[in-house]
A and B are shown apart, each in its own frame.
Chain A
Amino acid sequence: MRPPPFNYYAPLTLRDTIELLHTKEDSKVLAGGQSLIPMLKLRLARFSNIIDLKKVKELAPRIEDKGDRVFISALTTHDTISKSDLIKTKLPILATAASQIADQQIRNRGTIGGNVAHADPSANFPIALLTLDTKIIAEGYNGERVIDINNFYKYLFTTELSNDEVIKGFEIKYPSPDTKQVFLKIARSAITWPIALVGITIRLEKTHVIEARIALGAAGPTPLRVKKAEEFLKNRELDEETILKASEYAVEGIKPISDVEASSEYRKHLLKVLVKRGLKSIVGGESYG
């Protein structure tokens, strides 16, 4: 119910933050806290040092239109992203994913940086971002680097970031105007973790697929891009048969967890259903989500 003790730091600059991460052992950054604090309260995780990022000026919330791409700083909240006209117009999959995270109170505090860095495979943002041209701008003791989202997730709750690195923000290229974007999830209620979630971005010429990206959540230890399905869809007509086949390829070989909520087999099936529904909605079939 209540977290174990920790030392608390609230640095004002990124430099100070990195210095703390580099020198203090067993430390963790705190962004919105909507993923970290529940874990600390149940004592599923503990850290000697918590470093609050919210006063770090370089990370302050902002969404910046950079012409062909957008920059979203790490501390931008889910609520802001879900309501941003820019995001809703240019990157609707991101706005949808943000708007479907938990409930209003959590969206008011939770941040895109936290959601991505926490690396929970059933989180919304990683799925949406994987379907886009997303670059993660990080900075650590050895300086700044840019990480492609496709190289970001290593295994359960573990990312490419080293202990002294912090996500500064995300650079997401606007997809071409003929790109359709869908985000779907299945959860028992707003406040429970999704059992299955799917993100799809697809460039179409009428019903002809030019390029497709499909990301699955709660499908394994990390968020997944399903290349086989994407390859299959390329240059095909998005008809019923193709959709069915693509959905089968999408879940081939995946091993979602089995827990009290759902078995691995059921999760796999639900993911297939979501891919199918997502693709159908793109060609104007039944609408879900």
Chain B
Amino acid sequence: MAENNKVRVSMKINGREYTAEIEPRMLLVDFIRDIAKLKGTKIGCDTSQCGACTVIVNGVSVKSCTMFAVEADGAEILTIEGLEQDGKLHPIQESFWENHALQCGYCTAGMIMSVYYLLKTNPNPTEEDIRRGLAGNICRCTGYINIIKAVKTASQKLGGNKP
């Protein structure tokens, strides 16, 4: 029987430092939502498939439900809340909005973070690249057609540059 020990964890989320004493089993998504109180990142499943919890950890997209907070000790994390700068929306956010690439919006935070990573590594994706890059993000509402459009728009807005 394991002792309920605690670990001290510190991470930077959207540029701000968060520190807490937590159980090592605490999932990163719970740390983000319940300790840092950043509710934009969501939980949508229990088998690491839906991608609603996707965030960027040290520059790379990750399903935060499949990571312990303690594994992110010392890390730099970007969540959906960190994309807007001084009231100005990120081009990916603009593109999703213009193309109505969402309906209920629950998948949107994770989807946008996955798009962020996709465009970072592949600024001019083909439709096939987009379908492959977002295969780990489930949307139940849109049927994906508008999401694909939004990624193409975002790529254009970024002028083929990294986000």
Is B27's CB within 8 Å of the partner chain A? yes
**Total contacts A to B, CB within 8 angstroms?**
97
The closest CB in chain A to the CB of B46 belongs to A1
- B68 contact set on A, CB distance < 8 A: 8, 33, 37
Complex: how many Å from CA A168 to CA B137?
A: 32
Q: A5-B2, A106-B136, A108-B61 are in contact. Are A41 and B24 (CB under 8 A)?
A: no
Complex: how many Å from CA A261 to CA B122?
A: 34
Is A105's CB within 8 Å of the partner chain B? yes
Q: Among A1, A54, A192, which residue has the most Cβ atoms of chain B within 10 A?
A: A1
Q: Evaluate contact between A37 and B48: CB separation under 8 angstroms.
A: yes
- B132 contact set on A, CB distance < 8 A: 104, 190
Q: When each residue 42-67 of chain B gets 1 if its CB lies under 8 Å from chain A and 0 otherwise, what string results?
A: 00001111010010000011110111
Q: Evaluate contact between B3 and A7: CB separation under 8 angstroms.
A: yes
The closest CB in chain A to the CB of B73 belongs to A10
Chain B residues with a Cβ under 8 A of chain A: 1-5, 7, 23-25, 27, 30, 46-49, 51, 54, 60-63, 65-68, 70-71, 114, 117-118, 132-133, 135-138
Complex: how many Å from CA A25 to CA B54?
A: 34
Q: Evaluate contact between A2 and B2: CB separation under 8 angstroms.
A: no
Is A191's CB within 8 Å of the partner chain B? yes
- B63 contact set on A, CB distance < 8 A: 105-106, 109
- A163 contact set on B, CB distance < 8 A: none
Is A270's CB within 8 Å of the partner chain B? no
For the complex formed, measure the closest distance between the CB of B136 and the CB atoms of chain A, giving whole angstroms.
3
Is A281's CB within 8 Å of the partner chain B? no
- A48 contact set on B, CB distance < 8 A: 1-2
Is A146's CB within 8 Å of the partner chain B? no
Complex: how many Å from CA A33 to CA B66?
A: 7
- A40 contact set on B, CB distance < 8 A: 25
For the complex formed, measure the closest distance between the CB of B21 and the CB atoms of chain A, giving whole angstroms.
13
Complex: how many Å from CA A1 to CA B25?
A: 12
Q: Evaluate contact between A103 and B67: CB separation under 8 angstroms.
A: no
Task: Choose one: A8, A50, A108; the contact of B62 (CB below 8 Å).
Answer: A108
Interface residues of A in 1-40 (CB under 8 A from B): 1-8, 10, 30, 33-34, 37-38, 40
